[in-house]
Amino acid sequence: MKAKPTSFSVLDLVLVSEGHTLKETFKNALELAQHIETFGYTRYWLAEHHNSPAIGSSATSILIGYVAGGTNSLRIGSGGIMLPNHSPLIIAEQFGSLASLYPNRIDLGLGRAPGTDRETAQAIRSDFMQAAHSFPAELETLETYFSTKNAQAKVRATVAEGVEVPLYILGSSTDSAHLAAKKGLPYAFASHFATTHLEEAMAIYRNTFKPSKVLNAPYVMAGVNIIIADTDEEAQRLSTSLIRMIVGIFTGKRDYIQPPVAMNEEYKEILQHPQVHQMLKYSFIGSKATVKAQVKAFIDSTQANELIAVTNIYNIKDRIRSYELFAEIMKELNE
């Protein structure tokens, strides 16, 4: 059994549902954050993605400020900022400013993937591949800009120097596990979609972890897909929006999030497709009782310090209800 309670948080892609404007979508993101703050969640993270009509979190730093301004105590951050897309100087300035506006509430999760397709990555930054390979060095540069020791340098992020912004390393393979362990930083694995290397990445991180001024021991965060409703049948119905979203990713026909329909044989067959089945391995869908058993088994197996719940469904009210029930589950499991 785990000695400490398992924290629980939210990762939001700010999904754009069919028939909704971007303004409505952003308002829904704030409403969701305000609710999960009352439910006892640790943090609300936004994921940087580009060139997808279904995802509204592309201007991640701006939305972090918007959500932080409409909440009171919830930690708000990036899950993550894709550092190779950006200049470390600009990210330091953005997050230094955010953390000055909202002290002790801003997280900076960092990944090395583009969060988009190859063509868009090139449009964002022409030297993206070089920057991706230089991720460890870019991270060092970013840390330098946050340090007061950089005060005498010719190039400074003056609004970031000495400002407390916790860094987290994100990963979907084993590469970043080595980096997070070497730096002694918290490690968040994207197991809500990249399920293959979760156990290996966690083992690498834990076995090679070097204590730092940030952490004395490894801290693992794991992403899980969560869809909870009053009945298993209703949760399965809600999940059809997620299934259609994934099919769109695999077929290159990305669209807005579609309304749910009744679970039928076609959707059940899609779920058995090897790629879809693997991608949704850590997806817990059903009533509260059903999901509670699944989540308990996952925590017992991984010993994750924190779960980051991702609920990609159509209706904001259904999402809020799902997160409310998940919070109840986590509190019961932590008793």
Max Cα-Cα span within the chain: 66
> Mean pLDDT throughout 89-101?
98
What's the pLDDT score for residue 137? 95
What's the pLDDT score for residue 254? 84
What's the pLDDT score for residue 227? 98
pLDDT bin (cut points 50, 70, 90) of residue 9 is very high
Least confident of 17-26, 108-117, 147-156, 280-289: 108-117
What's the CA gap between 187 and 170, in Å, rounded? 6
Residue with tokens 């100087």: 89
Give a yes or no: residue 154 inside a domain: yes
Cβ neighbors of 281 (< 8 A, separation 6 or more) are 191, 195
Least confident of 23-27, 113-117, 221-225: 113-117
Model pLDDT for residues 233-264, shown as the tens digit of each residue: 999 999 999 999 999 988 888 899 999 999 99
Residue 209 three-state SS: coil
pLDDT bin (cut points 50, 70, 90) of residue 135 is very high
Handedness of CA 179, 60, 52, 50 (dihedral sign): negative
Give a yes or no: residue 165 inside a domain: yes
> Mean pLDDT throughout 53-69?
97
CATH number at residue 280: 3.20.20.30
Nearest to 14 by CA among 43, 50, 38: 50
Give a yes or no: residue 2 inside a domain: no
- The H or E element that residue 286 is part of is strand 283-286
> Model pTM?
0.95
pLDDT above 70 for 146: yes
What's the pLDDT score for residue 122? 86
pLDDT above 90 for 270: yes
Nearest to 36 by CA among 58, 78, 7: 7
Give a yes or no: residue 1 inside a domain: no
The whole-angstrom distance between residue 283's C-alpha and the CA centroid of its chain comes to 15
Structural domains in the chain (count): 1
In DSSP notation, 134-152 reads: THHHHHHHHHHHHSGGGGG
The mean of the pLDDT values for the chain is: 96
Strands (E), 104-173: 106-111, 167-171
Q: What is the percent of the chain with per-residue pLDDT over 70, rounded to a whole number?
A: 99
pLDDT above 90 for 116: no
Residues in the chain: 335
> Mean pLDDT throughout 24-36?
98
Phi first, then psi: give them for residue 219, nearest 5 degrees: -135, 110
Give a yes or no: residue 201 inside a domain: yes
Which domain covers residue 318, as residue numbers?
7-333
Model pLDDT for residues 313-334, shown as the tens digit of each residue: 999 999 999 999 999 999 999 9
For residues 59 and 125, is the Cβ–Cβ distance under 8 A? no
The rounded radius of gyration (Å) of the Cα atoms in the chain is 19
What's the CA gap between 134 and 112, in Å, rounded? 9
Phi first, then psi: give them for residue 229, nearest 5 degrees: -140, -175
> Mean pLDDT throughout 25-30?
98
Residue 110 three-state SS: strand
Give a yes or no: residue 217 inside a domain: yes
What's the pLDDT score for residue 1? 46
The secondary structure of residue 239, as a DSSP letter, is H
Give a yes or no: residue 243 inside a domain: yes
What's the CA gap between 133 and 139, in Å, rounded? 11
> Mean pLDDT throughout 223-235?
98
> Mean pLDDT throughout 291-305?
98
CA distances from residue 179 to 49, 51, 100, 146, 210 in whole angstroms, order as listed: 23, 28, 28, 19, 10
What's the pLDDT score for residue 2? 57
For residues 147 and 134, is the Cβ–Cβ distance under 8 A? no
- Cβ neighbourhood burial of 306 (10 Å; 0-12, 13-18, 19+): middle
Q: Does residue 286 come out as left (phi exceeding 0), alpha (psi in the -120 to 50 range) or beta?
A: left
Give a yes or no: residue 214 inside a domain: yes
